[in-house]
Amino acid sequence: MANVNCYGSLISTRYTTVPCLNTATTEATKDEVFTDSNYVGSAQTVGTFASQQFGNFVLAKAGIIAENDMTWAYIESAGTIKAALPMGSGLAGGGAGLPGPLPYPKQLLPGDSLQVMVNAVSDREASVAVACTSGEYHIFSVTPSGSGEQEFVSILDGQGIGTTLQGRVISHWFALSGNNDAELTSPVYLLDGSGVPTDSVGFSSSGGSVGVNFQPCRANIMLNSRLVFRTDA
């Protein structure tokens, strides 16, 4: 796998800014993006820099861009997803609309890191990032193999959305298609235990020209809920 550029910015409620850059982000592997040493003097973990430089840094907007296709970006804190981040692809100037707002601002603390998944243009991994009324964020992904129904699972524990977020209410979400645009036969559906759609979100192309931001919804998650889409190849 190649190493590619990943860059962007994290912006606080007070409009202080953390510039970010990794010029050797590994494709198809979870990788960390540090502060941009060109602007802040050294490459540091984003939460540590933000806390030391600005004190109370409450993340309110973000825009992370990869050189090629992108699957997800989030702030990791003690092994959990503190905040899923708006993002885009540099394939076609995909920074339009970024930085985008977070539904629930989060304070960055020392040790909080920016983690990303940058994928090759041919990779089929699709993803859905969600924000819940509880203030929790999570990310689900799946790499389709062949045709049929594809179910998203947590990038942390591999569980479905019903197990991971039982009892939560999703208030905002977005979806990235991976390299599945020609094979898609549905948007993303949230299904109940009978397989009936109860909510839906459309895909944005992972290599599109516009950045991906959260959009509002009202999706109740039960234990038997599933998050799916379909492909014909």
Q: Could you write out the DSSP letters of every residue in 51-67?
A: HHHHSS-EEEEEEEEES
CA distance 13 to 107: 10
Residue whose tokens read 């430089």: 53
CA distance 47 to 33: 11
Greater model confidence, 46 or 121: 46
Number of domains in the chain: 1
Average pLDDT of the chain, as a whole number: 95
pLDDT at position 172 is 98
Average pLDDT over residues 41-48: 98
Q: Residue 208 — very low, low, confident or very high, per pLDDT cuts 50/70/90?
A: confident
pLDDT at position 205 is 84
Average pLDDT over residues 22-51: 97
Q: How many C-beta atoms lie closer than 10 Å to residue 146's C-beta? A: 9
pLDDT single digits (tens) 82-138? 999 999 998 877 788 999 999 999 999 999 999 999 988 789 999 999 999 999 999
pLDDT single digits (tens) 150-195? 999 999 999 999 999 999 999 999 999 999 999 999 999 999 999 9
Of all residues in the chain, what percent carry a pLDDT higher than 90? 89
| Burial category of 106 from C-beta neighbours within 10 Å (exposed 0-12, middle 13-18, buried 19 and up) | middle
> Contact, 68 vs 120, CB < 8 A?
yes
pLDDT at position 1 is 63
SS3 182: coil
- Domain of 159, in residue numbers: 3-231
pLDDT at position 6 is 96
CA distance 113 to 167: 28
> Contact, 57 vs 16, CB < 8 A?
yes
